[in-house]
Amino acid sequence: MTLAVQTYGPEARARRGFFTDTSVCIGCKACEVACKEWNHVPDDNQGFSGHSYDNSVDLGADRWRHVAFVEQPKEQLGPIPSAPGNGLSTYQDGDSLRWLMASDVCKHCTHAGCLDACPTGALFRTEYDTVVVQSDICNGCGYCVPACPFGVIDKRESDGKAWKCTLCYDRLKDDKEPACAQACPTNSIQYGELGDLRERAEKRLAQLQGAGAEKAQLYLADDEDGVGGAGAFFLLLDDPEVYGLPPDPIDPTYDVGTTWGATAAAALALGAGVVAAALLGGRGR
């Protein structure tokens, strides 16, 4: 298992990340608030979305943690696992609903589309193998925005630059855990060395599957997926798209060879076309 991207040589630190165990998320949004406070993230939507308890709606330049609220009526569900003591009380009889809550965040991909796309070098990989934007370099070209297969990074209107989660790079430098993880009251957000987190996640998945949560799944916990594994990975109780996550995300850079090949071939074809147009008619015509 190659956890490290290994661009730092001797300065490299063990890869850090988040394991977000959504089965114990209670939707308190302390992570959203702590993140805003610590990182001075500007306020945003103050309105009412109508999507359950979710009024921040998605990740973006001004939302680096976002708690999703999914309401699933009983008739949509199969057998509901609720063995006591396993932390799986997602179904509430009174409401006839199953509640799924999940705190989403930047995935800090091993193969990060945003970083690959960034033409200025503003996006870089830290010694902890996290992906961070340097706001003193970003010129707001916006190319990282559609490059991200998860729709995480976005351009902030007020200053024109791209912003996203830094995994609290400043706190990591001081050996402190990121603000969201520290604020999380249920340990749904766990921070640590990626190897440790993956071990913990495997145990939790086995426990939940054993308790009958058939759709419980680890998301982005392996190195072979389309982003080469992620620094922030998740335990979900339903399919990724239920939470607004892509089920098979791929860093567009995997195809860059094909794209450049087609671009070069098209350039040559254009050259041949201009030569033909210039020569076919005879001199000066």
- Binding to other proteins, residues 136-175 (CB under 8 A): 137-143, 145-156, 159-162
- Alpha carbon 167 to chain centroid, angstroms: 11
Interface pick for other proteins out of 40, 84, 175, 280 (rule CB under 8 A): 280
**DSSP codes, 32-92:** HHHHHHHHTPPP---S---BTTBSS-S-BTTBSEEEEEEEEEGGG-SSPP--TTSS---EE
Q: How far is the CB of 104 from other proteins (least distance, A)?
A: 10
Q: Is residue 256 within the footprint of other proteins (CB under 8 A)?
A: yes
Interface pick for other proteins out of 184, 205, 211, 232 (rule CB under 8 A): 205
Phi, psi at 215, each rounded to 5°: -95, 0
Interface pick for other proteins out of 113, 131, 132, 166 (rule CB under 8 A): 113
Q: Is residue 277 within the footprint of other proteins (CB under 8 A)?
A: yes
Token pair recorded at residue 188: 């749904």
End-to-end alpha carbon distance in the chain: 66
> Rounded to an integer, what distance in angstroms lies between the CA atom of residue 39 and that of residue 70?
27
Helices (H), 118-220: 144-147, 169-173, 179-183, 194-210
Q: Is residue 73 within the footprint of other proteins (CB under 8 A)?
A: no
Q: Is residue 40 within the footprint of other proteins (CB under 8 A)?
A: no
Q: How many residues bind other proteins (CB under 8 A)?
A: 99
Asked if 123 and 133 touch (Cβ cutoff 8 Å), the reply is yes
Interface pick for other proteins out of 17, 60, 81, 231 (rule CB under 8 A): 60
Which amino acid belongs to residue 134? Answer: Q
Q: Is residue 44 within the footprint of other proteins (CB under 8 A)?
A: no
Choices 5-13, 16-24, 181-189, 277-285; region in contact with other proteins by CB under 8 A? 277-285
Q: How far is the CB of 99 from other proteins (least distance, A)?
A: 14
Q: Is residue 246 within the footprint of other proteins (CB under 8 A)?
A: yes
